[in-house]
Amino acid sequence: MVQGIETIFLRGLAQPTFLSYHVPMNIIHVHLLNPPAPQALEILRNQLSSLIQLSTGPDLPDPASYEILVAGRPGREALLASRNLHTLVIPFAGLPAVTHDLLRDFPHIAVHNLHHNAALTAEMAIALLLAATKFILPFDRALRQNDWRLRYTTSPALSLHGKTALVLGFGQVGQRIGRACHALGMRILATRRDISRSSEVDYPVEIYPPEALADLLPQAAALLISLPDTPQTEGLIGETELRQLPQGAVLVNVGRGSIINQAALYQVLHDGHLRAAGLDVWYHYPQSESEWSSTPPADLPFHELDNVVLSPHRAGQSSETERLRMIALAELLNHAAQGQPLPNKVNLDRGY
């Protein structure tokens, strides 16, 4: 079967005869509400099927006939403008609260994410894990002052080889984190909401439901969190859970800040129950450009702790992020053009 061509084999003739004729295939209208930079947009256009008709910009087409809308935080007008709209593509991972609330009024619209930055996020998790366990930053700061004294003290660094890593959230990011930890010689435990879903991994891992958390935490020398922000995950890790981790364990969070109780996390780092932490997600964010240079990420002074590596929610960022986003978006839209199921469907009830 060639795209756009139907082939029929006619039986009962002296010689087999094949007749081919063109079958008209529907053009799919897609509107990209917030277009990227011209170079990235060119990458997208070059990857798209000829069956995709793409419009871009904050001004909606007139008449609006798009079937797929690409937007992270669309307004109500954009969802109402086209009677043909059946799919919303959020061009990143996650479901913003404002979008989640709005979509309750549009149950007929399917929602899909892009996971173009899954590898980048997993890489940052491992970078934070290694920086935290090896205490890279305090030694770096000292040597910049020509101070070698830390080298001649008892090292606080932790060897990860042979230890157990517990990955909370075993989706596309979590599976990559697990693979990297396995490569470091670690045993991998993981939790995921639906343990019946297949995980295409090429390393040994023990997968448990979230209800097993209390039994898993005492085994973990490293706790790595890649969960989404949902009502079920908010406040999941409090003081009880943090104290269930072994003395001297390390924690990495590339999920959402709200998953871990802020005060409890600060306390277990301050009193040394946790050896170290690498944090890419926080409790406060700038609300405008004027606040970029003056917004504390938390209510408590994590920045004063030498056993914390701070990162300003940049795990998914790189010089290649927009190229990867456009390639992933084109792949998803091309699935639609070919009549195939779209990947990364969001369950609104679960919030991811």
Say if 21 falls within a structural domain.
no
Same structural domain for residues 160 and 104? no
Same structural domain for residues 248 and 221? yes
CATH assignment at residue 108 = 3.40.50.720
SS3 28: strand
Say if 216 falls within a structural domain.
yes
Say if 352 falls within a structural domain.
no
Same structural domain for residues 127 and 103? no
Same structural domain for residues 81 and 144? no
Q: How many structural domains is the chain composed of?
A: 2
Say if 351 falls within a structural domain.
no
Say if 7 falls within a structural domain.
no
Same structural domain for residues 105 and 160? no
Say if 199 falls within a structural domain.
yes
The confidence score (pLDDT) of residue 198 equals 61
29-41 confidence digits (pLDDT tens): 999 999 999 999 9
Same structural domain for residues 268 and 150? yes
CA-closest candidate to residue 206, choices 228, 185, 191: 191
Q: What span, in angstroms and rounded, lies between the C-alpha atoms of 55 and 67?
A: 11
Q: What span, in angstroms and rounded, lies between the C-alpha atoms of 162 and 221?
A: 10
The confidence score (pLDDT) of residue 261 equals 98
The confidence score (pLDDT) of residue 207 equals 96
Q: Are 275 and 302 in contact (CB under 8 A)?
A: no
248-275 confidence digits (pLDDT tens): 999 999 999 999 999 999 999 999 999 9
- CA distances to 185, 260, 299, 331 from 239, rounded to whole Å, are 29, 9, 17, 43
Same structural domain for residues 180 and 264? yes
Q: Is the peptide bond before 138 cis (omega within 30 degrees of 0)?
A: no
208-242 confidence digits (pLDDT tens): 999 999 999 999 999 999 999 999 999 999 999 99
Same structural domain for residues 143 and 105? no
CA-closest candidate to residue 48, choices 65, 64, 28, 33: 28
Instruction: Give me the domain span that covers residue 71.
Output: 28-116+320-337
Say if 12 falls within a structural domain.
no
Query: Block means of pLDDT (10 residues each) for the chain, length 352 residues?
Result: 43 48 70 96 97 97 97 98 98 94 96 97 98 98 98 97 98 97 98 80 95 98 96 96 98 98 98 98 97 98 98 97 98 96 93 84
As a whole number of Å, the end-to-end CA separation of the chain is 36
Q: Are 195 and 207 in contact (CB under 8 A)?
A: yes
Claim: this prediction has a pTM higher than 0.75 = yes
Same structural domain for residues 304 and 168? yes
Same structural domain for residues 88 and 157? no
The confidence score (pLDDT) of residue 301 equals 98
Say if 147 falls within a structural domain.
yes
Same structural domain for residues 198 and 253? yes
Residue keyed to tokens 């999920």: 255
Same structural domain for residues 306 and 263? yes
